[in-house]
Structure 1
Amino acid sequence: MNRIVVTLSITLLYCVNVLAQDGSDIVYCKINKLKSSDIGKEALLDFYRRSFRGIYIDTVTINIQNKPVKLIEHREDNGFNNWFNMQYLESVELIDGMRIKVTKSKITAITSDSIQVDNYIQYYSASNTLIESRSSIEPYRFKKRMINEILIHLE
């Protein structure tokens, strides 16, 4: 009798685990698969190598307010849950005493060799408090060869 109860318990736990749902509001799209219908969508860019589960963390340098800023990818993706608002690019160093984050991009144009986006930029104090008055949106053009894939937000 005890053996049956143990077997049923293990089977039930397995079934619950198999039926558990994960969550995501992101679609991964290879850069060469972007279509004109993706223009206007919120996205995040995954540079050079796929950053799944934080195995590879890439850096990229872009100009923000006409200054080069080195950014590191911040990805929270455990294979089961990955949410758009948990992903961003963050400055490696403090700039004028602030941390800079690119929280999302909006696709504005796609050409054969580049993608143009509006980057949504937020500034944080050294104590990680958002400085709302500094938030900005800046256009930027990336060469497609820099990008491994696009994380498109399912709104």
Structure 2
Amino acid sequence: MEDKKLDHNIVFYNILIDSMCNVGEFTIAREIFNSLLAKGLQPDVPTYNIMIKGFCKEGLIDKASELLEKMDGNHFSLDDRTYNTIIHGLLQQNETAKAMELIKIMDDKGFSANATTASMLVDLLSANLADKALQELLIKTLLVNL
């Protein structure tokens, strides 16, 4: 598309980055993401969400957290998908303390867990891996989704 000077926008690149992540070509996805500003395109919330999911899928939770902070620092509004994606990744990597911090923030901002995150939280509760205060928060968060 670029060689033929066809019009492209951030939606096109979001689809391309997401596709690369889904087929295991995360290195290519990162290269595309990192080239967006040079192409005159600003990543948007879906772009960040796609990359956070990709980092989590690759087990690079620290990079996903860094991107989350960058996103927040660039004044993008984190949405329920952003929170659920990073919490899901944290729980998969057994980073329960960090996940619990984000669950609290997510709840304070009025967002709730999606079905996948809620299932993981139920597993966490059933394994007694959450302290009392967090158990109450999790139960409250899960009840909102029922």
How does the TM-score come out when normalised to structure 1?
A: 0.25
* Higher RCO, 1 vs 2 (CA within 8 Å, ≥6 residues apart): 1
Greater strand percent: which structure?
1
How does the TM-score come out when normalised to structure 2?
A: 0.26
Work out which of the two has the higher radius of gyration on C-alpha atoms and give 1 or 2.
Answer: 1
